Chain A
């Protein structure tokens, strides 16, 4: 029974997002059975993967609290996309996953560490620090890659097709391992009340720094998934993921004040947004109506999440 209660507790934050998920899946199945047929799941997951990846990447720093946020996630995805295709694949002729994946993750870790250094050691407000990296990464991407270019290696494109679930599964395995460590408890403690955590001996700066590095690494993964999906390099797509990923995280019941929620919620929020786009597209409305509906549902969904949290007796 206590196991069930713990499950309920874990899912309560993402409650509304989960309900929305079920509804949206049902609606999508009714509207568009062929697109959602099991045989098409590979391509479908590949299509949703960059947004899910971006949302997962945004989560750790938000969980770490005190205004923790990383708006450079989108540009970092674009930067990884540009480096992998333009520099590694086309210029240096390296196509092996054993080169590309570690190189991408290393870039992510370095950028994440830079963000972490600025936000936790120099102690610049996170949104300003990552705005700085946002501008730097966008500028560097456009310098390396002034115009879109292709193609991508075959194995990478397969990651948006039949094998699209693999990268996401690996991320969840990684997060599951993190949850088994004391670091996870420290992260949540710092996120909910950093002063109490500090007085209890938690190394607050170190915990937050690691959260930024994790965000960087996950953003690099999302960059690879983006590369797999578009099968080319495009300097303009990455930055568009930033704000929508943060919206997905909030929709998934992760408090932007920190310390509440998790990566499962972030993923559900992202899937919600993806399915929502899919429903709206199925109605064949103009892209303008789509954008209005998108904004309305985003705000309403976040309001519902807030109301539900309030009703379930937790502080808002």
Chain B
């Protein structure tokens, strides 16, 4: 099993110009590692819809890769979205599922199917051409560079130790800059950043 740092720190080192959508317990953790203008904190993910926001971005920006950092509790809320992503053949979408088997931000209550759900198998069954699962930090880090440049959509399930992140909030005093200001401000900033780079 990986720690959250073993999951996110290698990803932050390998990340170049990809859009990164983070949700729930991964929002602050990613914000501590990255200050990129193409980071977007989809704080509560509208209850499990981060992967669909990422799908829309991937289809809109086919020349750019989109990384989605999702939790297992969030992913379970909208498993059907995996079918939609596969159907759309979003080749530039990489969906990470941090599998700690708990609803971390509400105090680590156990998720349904904890320990039994195999997200990479579900992804294959939905039509994803590439899907992986990792529970060893060294294997994950060794594979990461290749995974980020595969023709997707790609799902990467990473077994994590439960953490203790509180719910992500948007407020001016946040130490992670992308959590300052409203979701609307952040959304329109991302759109402007993407427009400027075209």
Do A and B truly interact? Answer: no
